[in-house]
Amino acid sequence: MNFHRDRPREEPELNLIPMIDVMLVILIFLMITTTYSKYTELQINLPTADAEKQPERPGEINVLVNSAGQYVVNKSAVAFSSVQALADDLRRAGGMQKDPVIVISADASATHQSVIRVMEAARLAGYPQITFTTVAGK
What tens digit of pLDDT does each residue of 57-81 get? Answer: 668 888 888 888 889 888 888 888 8
For residue 79, which amino acid is it?
A
| Buried-state track 119-131, b at ≥16 Cβ within 10 A, e below 16 | bebbeebebeebe
Closest by CA to 105, choosing from 53, 41, 43, is 53
Q: What is the pLDDT of residues 30-47, one digit of tens each?
A: 888 876 554 444 444 455
Q: Looking at the predicted structure, is the pLDDT value of residue 21 above 90?
A: yes
Task: Give the model's pLDDT for residue 34.
Answer: 76
Q: What is the pLDDT of residues 96-133, one digit of tens each?
A: 888 899 998 888 888 889 999 999 999 999 998 998 88
Judged on CB neighbours under 10 Å (0-12, 13-18, 19+), 91 is: middle
- 7 versus 44: the higher-pLDDT residue is 7
**How far is 92 from 74, CA to CA, in rounded Å?**
10
Could you give all domains of the chain from N- to C-terminal order, each with its CATH number? 49-136 (3.30.420)
